[in-house]
A and B are shown apart, each in its own frame.
Chain A
Amino acid sequence: MLLVVTYSAAARTGLRNLCRRHESVVARRFGRAALFDETVYAAFLALRLRESHGGDVQIERTEPFNEFVAVDEPVREAAAAYADRSAKSTPYAAFAAGTEHPDPDTMRDREL
């Protein structure tokens, strides 16, 4: 999908108007951002907005996230185990220390 983020009041208003006028291309709307369908028309509308507001409009392309493709099993397991922990106040780094769970810094250094 296309993520459109605005950085000025005028661009935000432009995005809001665009979303109102072209509801069908809008998958999700946030305050000053929106997710558009992955169609050429949606891209065209996003480009038009950027032509009007330049650097105050950011367009990114997102892809669906599949944790079974993107990350290894230990990462998924660690997420589940941490969510299920008994001591709610334990930060993840402490939780993972001395266990099989991946170390946060190691994960930080690895790209998806």
Chain B
Amino acid sequence: MTGTGSTTAGAGREEDEGEREDGTAAVEERPEPSAVLGRLPTEAGLRRQLAAAARSRGRTASVAAEIDEIEAELAAIEIDPVDLTAARRRVAETTGETERLKERVAALRGDARARRAVDAEADETLDDLEAAAAELSAAQTEAIAAEQALERARAEAARNRDERQRRLRLRDRHRNRRRAASRELAEAVYPAFRRALAVVPGGDPSAAGAEPSEYDGDPVAASLAAVRVAAFDGVVELRGDAARRVAASERGARSLLRTAEVRVGADPDN
């Protein structure tokens, strides 16, 4: 049952589109109508199918220019990767080394003091102390340099994140406008879709309701009706339920779907 039900699933998914946010979806090109309707059953929801049908008939949404602008802006954004790992690690290492040497200096100092208190030989301890103090001083310099480098990297990352934030906002806006466009286009062809439902097998105009979201009829019939409404030159490939429906109909596939070429694909169910 690969074909059946996939359209309903698609319609459900489309409602969730605001929630489903993979980064790539936002910059993806508007699909060619034939990519949406060229093979039935389709994964696309009814609104997308009808929008594709509308576009194939030369309709454009009122927000089309705005969508183009957003896409141009998005295309112009260049973002470098942000990775402060090395800078953070260096800070951790140099700070750790400083702490270790501080402890060593303190221990040697205590040692030297104790030796002097009992008039014991302290020269060697004092030499060690001097060496450790020099090491500590070098380590502190290194730690400061590491802190400063991280600070600079963080400032750079903050600028980078401003751009990422801008890109995210644009992508969100892009997705909203795309959805608005799709809704507008689908509504524009809805009367034609309702009429087409009266013709295609399994179609029922009374199931159409007032708008795409109200459609509660058969999903395969809806896709066939969407293809009938559409006007594109490509081949329409029918599989599974879509193929069976059209084959069982008295009318020829080309007359039903009003397309130049209809091909019945290998049925994935058999």
Listed in ascending order, the chain A residues whose CB lies under 8 Å from chain B are 5, 7-13, 32, 54-56, 58
A-B contact pairs, 11 of them (CB 8 A): A7-B161, A7-B164, A7-B167, A8-B23, A9-B21, A9-B22, A9-B25, A12-B168, A13-B20, A32-B168, A56-B164
> B26 at the A/B interface (Cβ < 8 Å)?
yes
Q: Chain A contacts of B79 at CB under 8 A?
A: 55
Inter-subunit contact B172/A55 (CB<8 Å): no
Inter-subunit contact A9/B164 (CB<8 Å): no
Listed in ascending order, the chain B residues whose CB lies under 8 Å from chain A are 19-23, 25-26, 79, 81-83, 157, 160-161, 164-165, 167-168, 171-172
Closest CB pairs A-B (n = 3):
A9-B21, A55-B82, A7-B164
Inter-subunit contact A54/B83 (CB<8 Å): yes
* Nearest-Cβ distance from residue B89 to partner chain A, whole angstroms: 14
Inter-subunit contact A13/B168 (CB<8 Å): no
Q: Chain A contacts of B168 at CB under 8 A?
A: 7-9, 12, 32
Q: Which of B20, B25, B157, B161 has the most CB of A within 10 A?
A: B161
Q: Chain A contacts of B167 at CB under 8 A?
A: 7-8
State A48–B81 Cα separation when bound (angstroms). 18
* Nearest-Cβ distance from residue A17 to partner chain B, whole angstroms: 11
Inter-subunit contact A9/B26 (CB<8 Å): yes
Inter-subunit contact B83/A10 (CB<8 Å): no
Inter-subunit contact B23/A9 (CB<8 Å): yes
Query: Which A residue sits closest to B158, measured CB to CB?
Result: A58
Q: Chain B contacts of A10 at CB under 8 A?
A: 21-23
Knowing that A8-B167, A55-B79, A55-B82 touch, tell me 16 more A-B residue pairs with CB under 8 angstroms.
A7-B164, A7-B165, A8-B23, A8-B164, A9-B25, A9-B26, A10-B21, A12-B168, A13-B21, A54-B83, A55-B81, A55-B83, A55-B157, A55-B160, A55-B161, A58-B157
* Nearest-Cβ distance from residue B248 to partner chain A, whole angstroms: 43
Q: Chain A contacts of B83 at CB under 8 A?
A: 54-55
Q: A54 contacts which of B21, B81, B165, B172 (Cβ < 8 Å)?
A: B81
* Nearest-Cβ distance from residue B172 to partner chain A, whole angstroms: 7
State A8–B74 Cα separation when bound (angstroms). 13
Q: Chain A contacts of B22 at CB under 8 A?
A: 9-10, 13
State A5–B168 Cα separation when bound (angstroms). 12
State A54–B21 Cα separation when bound (angstroms). 17
State A58–B157 Cα separation when bound (angstroms). 9
